Structure 1
Amino acid sequence: MRKTDHLGGITAFVTTAQCGSFTAAAERLGLTKSAVAKSVGRLEARLGLQLFQRSTRRLSLTPDGERYLQSSQNAIEILEQAEAELMSHTAKPSGRLRVDLPAAFGRQRIMPHLLAVIRQYPELEMTITFSERFIDPIEEGIDLVVRIGELTDSSGLIARRLTTQKLVICAAPEYLAQYGELHEPEELSQHRCVVGVRRNQPKFWILRNARGEVSRYTPPATYEFADGDAMLAGVLAGCGLSQLPLWLVGKYLASGELKEVLTGHSGGEMPVSALWPKSRQLLPKIRFVVDTLIKAAEDGQLD
């Protein structure tokens, strides 16, 4: 018997088990009921096992059938993933893609690239949301997530590092004129600080000394804002000190609207990663967008 006949029998068996009858399986496969039943019968004869318990009223799996169904479904899933992987290199991205981004970084650094993808592929539909919390993409039905920070739990997810944010502690000159310059990290406790607020996430700044040793410091949470744009606005208004990414504050440091402090303890970094569920890793729409973001990162467009 040819191997293709074996595969046909497995397909007929799995479909019958899923549908609960030869009649329903025949309709799904576009075959006759007799053809499906004979194909399953030949599979049982080849295995020397009875996969279905047949009666006039119902069709049910035997214990051997239950075990074989699980193995067969796993094998079919592997074949489908292999086919999807091959197709993903040639297929155009299409369908609905749900993306969740951090607010400030997402709007300023990621959105331009997503908009370029949308213009290039009109068959791709996007739902883009913004949040700072570490959501579960699988639970919330999100296809692709971009997050800033160390990944504490990425089980069930594929993670790809895109870039690294360089962090600086800064303040408005007006604030420093009123409250004084800083020389050591210990002095931070005497200052007003603007920090990001995330549900169930610790608030800390990353410090690096002259020897390159990294430590975490928990600043006074005088003002808590939900995203980088709001934190930047607070610092520009003279509310206090904050540790912010260089891409966000660079132009304000250059113009003198902000001033870096504790330069001997700067150099903190925070990873930026793209995450997506393992079960969706081979979808062309996800692969294409991730590849686009990786290329942007390599070209320095996410820094």
Structure 2
Amino acid sequence: MTRAALNGTRVDEILIFLAIVETGSFVSGSRSMGLSRSAAGKALTRLEAHCGARLLNRTSRALSLTEEGRRLYSQGVELRSTLDAVGARFAGDGGDPRGELRMSAPDALGRRLVLPVVKRFLERWPEVQVEMSLSDTVSDLVSDGVDLAVRIGVRMPNPGLICRTLRQEPLVLCASPAYLSRTDAPTRVEHLSRHDLLIHASQNMRQTWQLKEADGTWVRASGRSRLRLDSGEALREAALADLGVALLPESVVRSELADGRLQRVLPERNTGSVEIMALYPHKRMLEAKVRHFVDMLAADLAL
């Protein structure tokens, strides 16, 4: 079905679809394309009809990709990258990424999700060099001369930056078996008040936890915040060291959950998700090295 969209040369509608996904809303997506919300909505409806499948789940809270939508998104970013390369070639720069790409990413997320893509990117484009800072500190891209930042957490509005959503990352409440064995493992959200909570101190991460109870209501968790750290990697290590309960991105603790070094806490509760996003200055929007890397990372995270 997604091949039908590509084979049917519905390029404009696919680009509108990408804009809606990457900005997270019809309003922002349509604005980025210079369209009205109504026009963008009609374009998506035509594209879904052409594909014969729903591409986006729409709720009052957010948009999310369907399985068919994920496939089309991955193919769509490749199509857009090809179109950009063609346009750049006619503009005289050959369209191939080259030069130094300076980027930053959170430590834990960068190691697990971004570095594997950097490896493939360097193999694909031999004329590129990458300088990458792994830190949870939020830097000023423009003043620090950074081409691209991958971030996770709450979106911080900045008119000087383009912010592209890469995916929604599920959060996991977890602790070590040793910690849980010496405490009363919580069975309700309010039981967390008797536990030591490991809190991420970064300004763009949640300072309070909200979990959905069995009846569908969202409840704010409270507890003893005896340790606050500004690094997701350090929080993971603190949880492994039996220091308390942590709320971390699933990709950061996937292997630890699989081998039993960490256990899910309140696994039947919905702990929500956080946004993984790419940010880059407006002036770098058309640079081949930035666009190609972001497209490769977006396609990888959409799988």
How would you bin the TM-score normalised by the shorter chain? 0.5 to 0.7
**Residue of structure 2 in register with 1:117 after alignment:** 121
Question: By how many angstroms is 1:165 displaced?
Answer: 1.2
Quote the Cα distance in structure 2 between the aligned partners of 1:85 and 1:157: 25
**Residue of structure 2 in register with 1:133 after alignment:** 137
Question: By how many angstroms is 1:125 displaced?
Answer: 1.8
Question: By how many angstroms is 1:219 displaced?
Answer: 4.5
1:208-223 paired onto structure 2 within 5 Å: 208-214=212-218, 216-217=220-221, 219-223=223-227
**Residue of structure 2 in register with 1:241 after alignment:** 245
Q: Deviations over 1:145-167 (max 9, x none)?
A: 10001212221111111111111
Residues 212/166 of structure 1: CA separation in 2 closer, same or farther (3 Å cut): farther
Q: Tell me which of 244, 268, 273 is aligned to 1:264.
A: 268
**Residue of structure 1 in register with 2:153 after alignment:** 149
- SS of 1:274's partner is strand
Q: Tell me which of 158, 161, 185 is aligned to 1:181.
A: 185
Share of identical aligned residues, percent? Answer: 31
Instruction: Tell me which moved more, 98-107 or 202-211.
Output: 202-211
Q: Does 1:203 align with 2:207?
A: yes
1:218-229 paired onto structure 2 within 5 Å: 219-229=223-233
Aligned length: 217
Question: By how many angstroms is 1:174 displaced?
Answer: 1.4
Question: By how many angstroms is 1:182 displaced?
Answer: 0.6
Given that 1:231 and 1:242 are in contact with CA atoms closer than 8 Å, whether structure 2 keeps it comes out as yes
Q: Does 1:194 align with 2:198?
A: yes
Given that 2:192 and 2:222 are in contact with CA atoms closer than 8 Å, whether structure 1 keeps it comes out as no
Quote the Cα distance in structure 1 between the aligned partners of 2:188 and 2:167: 29
Q: Deviations over 1:83-123 (max 9, x none)?
A: 99920795110112110101100111101111221222221
Q: Does 1:283 align with 2:295?
A: no
Compute the TM-score of the two structures, normalised by the length of structure 1.
Answer: 0.65
Given that 2:172 and 2:250 are in contact with CA atoms closer than 8 Å, whether structure 1 keeps it comes out as yes
Given that 2:189 and 2:213 are in contact with CA atoms closer than 8 Å, whether structure 1 keeps it comes out as no
Compute the TM-score of the two structures, normalised by the length of structure 2.
Answer: 0.65
| Higher Cα radius of gyration | 1
**Residue of structure 2 in register with 1:87 after alignment:** 88
Quote the Cα distance in structure 1 between the aligned partners of 2:137 and 2:298: 23
What residue ranges of structure 2 are gaps of 5+ in the alignment?
1-83
**Residue of structure 1 in register with 2:175 after alignment:** 171
Give, as a single letter, the amino acid of the residue that structure 2 aligns with 1:166: P
What residue ranges of structure 1 are gaps of 5+ in the alignment?
1-82
